[in-house]
């Protein structure tokens, strides 16, 4: 039985931008893995009338409504009352649930406030979803004239919602739907190639394939290619994905650095270990961001020798041995200085590779000749050094992030023997 789902996120703080909504993404991912299609997502504030309108609209166009938020003890927690009214049910006090809430407070040495009793009010005939990490229970309810629809309400606290969804809601939905189909996805990550170029290379695959389907997700200096398949089992979906992934890799091979949850720093770390090589890093405009990314990976001490932040010209001369003449003639932001920094940090660390970055992160410091976002990245190895110029033209933090990514991409390409 194929049914369409809608996600409903409740909370004014999300509409105001005070909290980033991560719940919807998690819910959508778990529903997809269970073979349930999500067609809509609604975000509504803590307003009784608007929550009611949103729920009625959701029930008109969707078979399953999954809500998160508004189940707490305060005045603006309106979900249970509004949902009961829309479904035509009375709110009743569940004594067993009330006692569990009291015990939870007592176990922590706290006295329960009277307003917490509100959390033991549940719509008639609702299945109570236990909350081992909080006091707000979830609700699983049938809706529609013949009980053909499902409404689920969960707390908005991510830690509580995630456990409730995976351990109680998804199994109940699978049982209710009686379906074995799954939706699986794989993300192929590329770097250093634009979205339009990727589209040019694999556009015909987009048009020719519906299941599995292809989608492009653009990020700073990255394009992710998502392949999604729906099938009766994980194995069947995986086989469909593998076939299409092979065709994508044939077209975009050299720009692919990883897939799914793999990060660039993890991939580079594995390549360094496989090659038995070490690396030292000299950073100017990135201020240690590259070193931070490298050391985010467990076991990076096996290949990361040292990192130096040489922000001033004096530090470049005194620590890395960059000739003053190069700084005077070409300026700190130049290919010549980047290469001298790479050689210098490699020698200082007695490592196989030396990686260096110098640039103008902005918003100050740019000139017509050397604008904000101008960055030089250099890599030195035994018997060679190579630099590359980039112009990012974004705000400061974005320029730093792009620079750190492209620096690691240069290392990846070198270790794989790809052109820099």
Q: What is the pLDDT of residue 11?
A: 94
Phi-psi group of 14: left, alpha or beta (phi > 0 → left; psi -120 to 50 → alpha; rest → beta): alpha
Q: Average pLDDT in the 294-314 region?
A: 97
pLDDT digits (tens, 9 = 90+) for 135-164: 888 999 998 878 789 999 999 999 999 999
d(CA 340, CA 66): 58
Q: Is the pLDDT assigned to residue 245 strictly greater than 80?
A: yes
Q: Is the pLDDT assigned to residue 269 strictly greater than 60?
A: yes
Give me 168's structure tokens.
């109680």
Q: Average pLDDT in the 265-280 region?
A: 98
φ/ψ of residue 187, rounded to 5: -110, 125
d(CA 133, CA 376): 50
Domain range 264-416, its CATH number among 3.30.1330.10, 3.40.50.300, 3.90.950.20, 3.40.50.2000: 3.90.950.20
Q: What is the pLDDT of residue 96?
A: 84
Query: Could you tell me which CATH number the domain at 182-259 has?
Result: 3.30.70.2860
For residue 223, the cross-strand partners are 190, 218
Distance, C-alpha 351 to centroid of its chain: 33
Edge-to-edge strand list for the sheet holding 182-191:
213-219, 222-231, 182-191, 256-259
Q: Average pLDDT in the 162-168 region?
A: 95
Average predicted confidence (pLDDT) for the chain = 92
Q: Average pLDDT in the 67-81 region?
A: 86
Q: Average pLDDT in the 296-320 region?
A: 97
Q: Average pLDDT in the 173-200 region?
A: 87
Give CATH 3.30.70.2860 domain extents, the chain: 182-259
Residue 364 — pLDDT band, cuts 50, 70, 90?
A: confident
d(CA 321, CA 307): 15
Range in 13-17, 143-147, 159-163, 399-403 the model is least confident about? 143-147
Helix (H, G, I), strand (E, B) or coil at 342: helix
Q: By percentage, how much of the chain surpasses pLDDT 90?
A: 74
Domain range 4-177, its CATH number among 3.20.20.70, 1.20.140.10, 3.50.50.60, 3.40.980.10: 3.40.980.10
Give CATH 3.40.980.10 domain extents, the chain: 4-177
Give CATH 3.90.950.20 domain extents, the chain: 264-416
Q: What is the pLDDT of residue 180?
A: 58
Rounded to a whole number, what is the distance in angstroms from the first to the last CA of the chain?
Answer: 52
Give me 312's structure tokens.
């001033």
d(CA 350, CA 48): 66
pLDDT digits (tens, 9 = 90+) for 19-33: 999 999 999 989 988
């Amino acid at each position: 039985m194929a049914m369409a789902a809608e996600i409903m996120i409740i909370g004014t703080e999300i509409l105001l931008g005070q909290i980033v909504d991560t719940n919807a993404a998690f819910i959508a991912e778990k529903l997809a893995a269970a073979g349930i299609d999500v067609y809509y997502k609604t975000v509504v504030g803590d307003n009784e009338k608007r929550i009611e309108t949103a729920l009625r609209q959701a029930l008109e166009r969707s078979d399953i409504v999954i809500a998160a938020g508004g189940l707490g003890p305060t005045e603006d927690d309106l979900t249970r009352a509004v949902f009961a009214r829309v479904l035509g049910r009375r709110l009743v006090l569940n004594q067993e649930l009330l006692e569990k809430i009291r015990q939870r407070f007592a176990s922590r040495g706290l006295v329960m406030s009277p307003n917490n009793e509100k959390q033991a009010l549940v719509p008639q005939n609702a299945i109570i979803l236990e909350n081992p990490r909080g006091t707000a229970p979830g609700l699983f309810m049938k809706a529609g004239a013949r009980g053909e629809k499902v409404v689920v309400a969960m707390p908005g606290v991510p830690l509580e919602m995630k456990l409730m969804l995976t351990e109680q809601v998804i199994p109940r939905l699978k049982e209710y739907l009686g379906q074995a189909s799954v939706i699986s996805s794989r993300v192929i990550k590329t770097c250093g190639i634009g979205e339009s170029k990727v589209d040019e290379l694999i556009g015909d695959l987009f048009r020719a394939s519906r299941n599995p389907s292809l989608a492009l997700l653009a990020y700073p200096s990255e394009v992710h290619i998502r392949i999604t398949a729906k099938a009766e089992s994980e194995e069947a979906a995986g086989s469909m994905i593998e076939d299409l992934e092979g065709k994508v890799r044939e077209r975009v091979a050299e720009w692919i650095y990883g897939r799914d949850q793999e990060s660039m720093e993890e991939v580079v770390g594995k390549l360094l270990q496989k090659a038995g090589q070490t690396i030292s890093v000299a950073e100017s405009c990135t201020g240690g961001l590259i070193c931070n990314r490298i050391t985010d990976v467990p076991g990076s001490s096996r290949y990361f020798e040292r990192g130096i932040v040489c922000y001033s010209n004096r530090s470049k001369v005194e620590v890395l041995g960059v000739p003053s003449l190069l700084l005077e003639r070409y300026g700190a932001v130049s290919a010549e200085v980047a290469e001298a920094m790479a050689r210098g940090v490699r020698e200082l660390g007695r490592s196989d590779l030396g990686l260096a970055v110098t640039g103008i992160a902005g918003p100050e410091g740019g000139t017509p000749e050397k604008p904000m976002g101008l960055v030089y990245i250099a890599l030195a190895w035994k018997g060679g050094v190579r630099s590359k110029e980039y112009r990012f033209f974004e705000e400061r933090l974005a320029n730093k992030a792009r620079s750190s990514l492209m620096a690691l991409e240069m290392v990846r390409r070198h270790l794989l023997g790809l052109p820099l």
